[in-house]
Structure 1
Amino acid sequence: IARSFADIGDIVRGKDLYSGNSKEKKQREKLEENLKTIFGNIYKDVTSGNNKDTLQTRYNDESGNYYQLREDWWTANRETVWKAITCKADASSAYFRATCSDGNSQSQARNQCRCPKSSGANADQVPTYFDYVPQYLRWFDEW
């Protein structure tokens, strides 16, 4: 699950290195065009509010890729994406590395691959940062 989550993050942020065969390449190009359209619409929306000058400066992208906006969107929504891809996981599903912490020790993310709520901590924390590891380094780990 963590690797798929990281791949989704790469695709959303426009950092996916894998192009696949010619059929997959065409599908990925279509997906990328759709993402540019979606983030173009988000750009128009967020730059029409009170902080429009600041946000226009931050998110302006001459190429129309909106990479900074995509990065910020992923950071703001990665927890929701994690919940979405783990919502049908068995209750006994556990993330394969000890990434949850109660302050004293680490434990596996159980209960649909999510860290439990502990005092002062957010419930359903994403138990991985694979989405911030460059894709080519994750490939080394997989191979």
Structure 2
Amino acid sequence: ACAPYRRLSLCNKNFQKINNYSSNAKHDLLLDVCMAANYEAQSLINYRAQYDATYPGSGSTFTMCTMLARSFADIGDIIRGKDLYLGKKKKNQNETKTERDQLEQKLKGIFEKIYNDVTSSGRNKRTNGAQKRYKGDGPDFFQLREDWWDANRETVWKALTCEAPKDSKYFRQTCGDNEKTTIRTPSHCRCTTHDVPTYFDYVPQYLRWFEEWA
């Protein structure tokens, strides 16, 4: 699948700053991801009119939240090692790896440190089942990365939508625990509860991209 235009520079500003050599890298990961998400949202807001014209099927009333949801899902794929976009090679540096390869290498290093932390026995000699859950998870740490995203996706969504226009609503009624009483996001692409209104991040990336190009 061909990546949509917005994906070509998604989160480059902050994601490329991720450093897996720092002793604080595993602690800074959520901050770096949230900063990248916030920067992405700011860049998308400036292209809302262009997006309306390019993807009229999204519905102008819900365009902003739809744009954010699509980038949110791509961020989730990057974190979980599922991103299909390879990126480009650095110019004038004789690089053999793409930007995507370099970022993936950094993320693997960070999740290796997280893995070592959660699977190491503390004073009570317990790991709360982490050793069993993540047994054989390296070197890609896909299960750990999936769990990290599940635990932090709400925080990333808040960072992504903190500057969304007040009248922005998500196109589906997904706020609430009861399927019969769910409502649309009242404002700012956010539910009044702690729900993330979109499930795009659980839809395969190539299907999302096909739909976006349709």
TM score, norm. by length of structure 1:
0.82
Corresponding residue to 2:161 among 76, 83, 86: 86
Q: Indicate whether 1:34 and 2:101 are aligned.
A: no
Instruction: Provide the C-alpha distance between the structure 2 equivalents of 1:18 and 1:81, rounded to a whole number of angstroms.
Output: 21
Q: Indicate whether 1:56 and 2:131 are aligned.
A: yes
Instruction: Provide the C-alpha distance between the structure 2 equivalents of 1:42 and 1:126, rounded to a whole number of angstroms.
Output: 25
Q: Indicate whether 1:129 and 2:199 are aligned.
A: yes
Change (3 A) 1:139 1:108: same
| Identical-pair percentage | 60
Matched-pair contact (CA < 8 Å) for 1:60–1:66? no
Any residues of structure 2 matched to 1:1-143 within 5 Å, and which?
1-23=68-90, 26-48=98-120, 49=122, 50-52=125-127, 54-61=129-136, 63-101=138-176, 103=178, 104-116=180-192, 123-143=193-213
Q: Which ranges in structure 2 are unaligned for 5 or more consecutive residues?
A: 1-67, 92-96
**Does the residue aligned with 2:169 lie in a helix, a strand or coil?**
coil
How many pairs does the alignment contain? 137
Q: Which ranges in structure 1 are unaligned for 5 or more consecutive residues?
A: 117-122
TM score, norm. by length of structure 2:
0.57
After TM superposition, which residue ranges in structure 1, 4 or more long, deviate above 2 angstroms? 20-25, 49-54, 60-63, 96-108
Give 1:105 shift. 4.3
1:54-74: CA deviation from partner (whole Å, max 9, x where unpaired): 322322346511111000111
What's the Cα RMSD here? 2.3
